[in-house]
Amino acid sequence: MLYVISIGAFQALIAVLLLWKNKFRNKADALLIVLLCCIATHLGIKFYIYSFVEDLHIRTQMNTFIGLCYGPLAYLYVLKLLDDKFIPATRMYLFIPFVLAAIAYLTVFCLLLADVPVGHRALRVYNDLSTWLFIAFGAAFPLMIFRKLRQIKAKEERQLVLHISSLMLAVAAVGAVFRAIGYFREFTMENMLLCRNICYILLSLICIDILRFKYAGIVSGRTAAPPAPVAEEDSTGLIHAKEDHTETPAPKKIQLSEAAHRKILQQLDQHLASTKLYLDPDLGLDKLSAAIGESKYHVSEALNMYAGKSFYQYVNEYRISRAMEIMTSIHQKNLPVNILMIAFECGFKAKSSFNAYFKKITGETPSAYLSRLKAGAAAC
């Protein structure tokens, strides 16, 4: 058992480190990092108990309360995926059983230190109640997650959530089966070890799945395409893509066909035209790919390989086109044009970046464009 526990704890810690360092981490991934930390802590406590505690009652009955936060964390992760503005702290009541179990755990620990026989009786009660609570939570939250599964548009995220919730449900099922067996026949040490080994292996698989989907970007054994260029902001406030002034490099391995690239571009064009999502100043590759239900790696590949543009070039072309429409409409109504307000309305966060992209895309500055409009109107 110690090998299973130590390997699982090591996998959880590695997953935390790699996911934390992953530059494509989104806001919801913070909940996955907390989940991984909880798994690592859970297995770490068990490693200590099985390595250094000789009391057989503690080794077999001291359930670790941390397992009660797995379901709530996974559920909050799904809610955050569905609504980027969702604040997990508003659902902290989901962790009330976890807090109560932690208090009971510490109480039993203190009783064991003060009076061993009394502590053993308290431990037996704690073990019975916590076991059924683990089973109930392990079944309830995955079922709640399954109900929201279809609302997750991104295929990779949907598959990851399905895997995590299924493994949590499997842990609950294993616990329920072995608990039921204990009512009809004597629950031996071998049965207890088998039950815990299976549960710890399933927890390890959760860590592996999170790594497989979130860090390596692998789905069904396929290597993901490279990500889109990352935006940078220089000292003048200009936001631009790293590769705006260089040739877009070819990815190491092309995953999709030209027809698939074309289909993704058509989806992007149709979605942006109908929803005007490009007006969102916080629009990123994650949000855009989730909006059309495609992998962000595939969207990045389609933009780079088929359109020959970075993500920011592509989005800012829509923004500048919209800005030109607004400026033309305002000018035709003989109203004053506020370039800064137009820049903000079209999704830019700074006037300098708006001016730079306007000139890059149209060949002239916004002021020059307005002057040309006025000259054209005067000639008429």
Element (H, E) at 380: none
For residue 99, the model assigns a pLDDT of 93
Tokens of 346: 């079209």
Half-sphere exposure of 175 (CA within 13 A, CB side): 24
Kindly give the pairing relationship between strand 239-241 and strand 231-233. Answer: antiparallel
Would you say 69 and 12 are in contact if contact means Cβ atoms under 8 Å apart? no
Nearest to 176 by CA among 145, 146, 138: 138
Amino acid at 372: R
Q: Burial, 54: exposed, middle or buried (Cβ in 10 Å; 0-12, 13-18, 19+)?
A: exposed
- pLDDT for 233 beyond 80: no
- pLDDT for 377 beyond 80: no
> Of 8-12, 59-63, 222-226, 304-308, which one has max mean pLDDT?
304-308
Q: How far is CA 224 from CA 210, 249, 295, 322, in A?
A: 15, 16, 9, 33
- pLDDT for 220 beyond 70: no
For residue 237, the model assigns a pLDDT of 40
Residue 188 pLDDT level (bands cut at 50, 70, 90): low
For residue 226, the model assigns a pLDDT of 40
Residue 322 pLDDT level (bands cut at 50, 70, 90): very high
Residue 240 pLDDT level (bands cut at 50, 70, 90): very low
Q: Over pLDDT 90: what percentage of the chain?
A: 29
- pLDDT for 225 beyond 50: no
For the entire predicted model, the pTM comes to 0.59
Instruction: Give 232's DSSP letter.
Output: E
Residue 365 pLDDT level (bands cut at 50, 70, 90): very high
Residue 380 pLDDT level (bands cut at 50, 70, 90): low
Q: How far apart are CA 327 and CA 308, in angstroms?
A: 28
Residue 166 pLDDT level (bands cut at 50, 70, 90): very high
Half-sphere exposure of 40 (CA within 13 A, CB side): 16
Mean local confidence (pLDDT), 285-299 = 89
- pLDDT for 294 beyond 80: yes
Mean local confidence (pLDDT), 30-41 = 90
For residue 253, the model assigns a pLDDT of 58
Helices (H), the chain: 2-21, 29-52, 56-61, 70-82, 96-114, 116-148, 155-184, 189-210, 258-275, 285-291, 296-301, 311-332, 339-345, 351-362, 366-379
Query: Residue 9 contacts by C-beta under 8 Å, 6 or more apart in sequence?
Result: 39, 40, 43, 44, 47
For residue 217, the model assigns a pLDDT of 46
Would you say 364 and 376 are in contact if contact means Cβ atoms under 8 Å apart? no
Q: Looking at per-residue confidence, does 153 or 262 come out higher? A: 262
Would you say 281 and 349 are in contact if contact means Cβ atoms under 8 Å apart? yes
Nearest to 71 by CA among 136, 128, 160, 116: 136
Would you say 271 and 277 are in contact if contact means Cβ atoms under 8 Å apart? yes
Residue 236 pLDDT level (bands cut at 50, 70, 90): very low
Residue 216 pLDDT level (bands cut at 50, 70, 90): low
Q: Looking at per-residue confidence, does 9 or 100 come out higher? A: 100
Residue 235 pLDDT level (bands cut at 50, 70, 90): very low
Q: How far apart are CA 353 and CA 315, in angstroms?
A: 13
Tokens of 375: 């000259």
Phi, psi of 232, rounded to the nearest 5 degrees: -130, 160
